[in-house]
Amino acid sequence: QKEVEQNSGPLSVPEGAIASLNCTYSDRVSQSFFWYRQYSGKSPELIMSIYSNGDKEDGRFTAQLNKASQYVSLLIRDSQPSDSATYLCAVVFTSGTYKYIFGTGTRLKVLA
């Protein structure tokens, strides 16, 4: 069973703080990892992709990947109320049938 796990939240942080979102996955051979943001009633939109161990920064967002621990995270610096949304971790599983599997999602609330 291919699984992607996240804390469902809600995770509440004050405006300007760092929000830390975590994700674990079950398949050691996975190579592609994504973070999506989903506002209520909308389709998911891509924030970050990461393929190699370490950190990848894009503006206020930093994705971190540790394949040995099967762990990927997303840090949001200087959190804004507009960042309040559900954040979905997605993993491409390639052992067996190619699948794009989403985690359970973490609801983030940034308090003004």
Partner 1 sequence: SAVISQKPSRDICQRGTSLTIQCQVDSQVTMMFWYRQQPGQSLTLIATANQGSEATYESGFVIDKFPISRPNLTFSTLTVSNMSPEDSSIYLCSAPNGDTEAFFGQGTRLTVV
Binding site for partner 1 (CB under 8 A): 1, 31-32, 34, 42-44, 46, 49, 51, 86, 88, 90, 92, 97-105
Nearer to partner 1, 31 or 80 (CB): 31
Nearer to partner 1, 79 or 106 (CB): 106
Nearer to partner 1, 24 or 49 (CB): 49
User: 65-92 as b/e, with b when 16 or more CB fall inside 10 Å?
Assistant: bebeebebbbbbeebeeebbbbbbbbbb
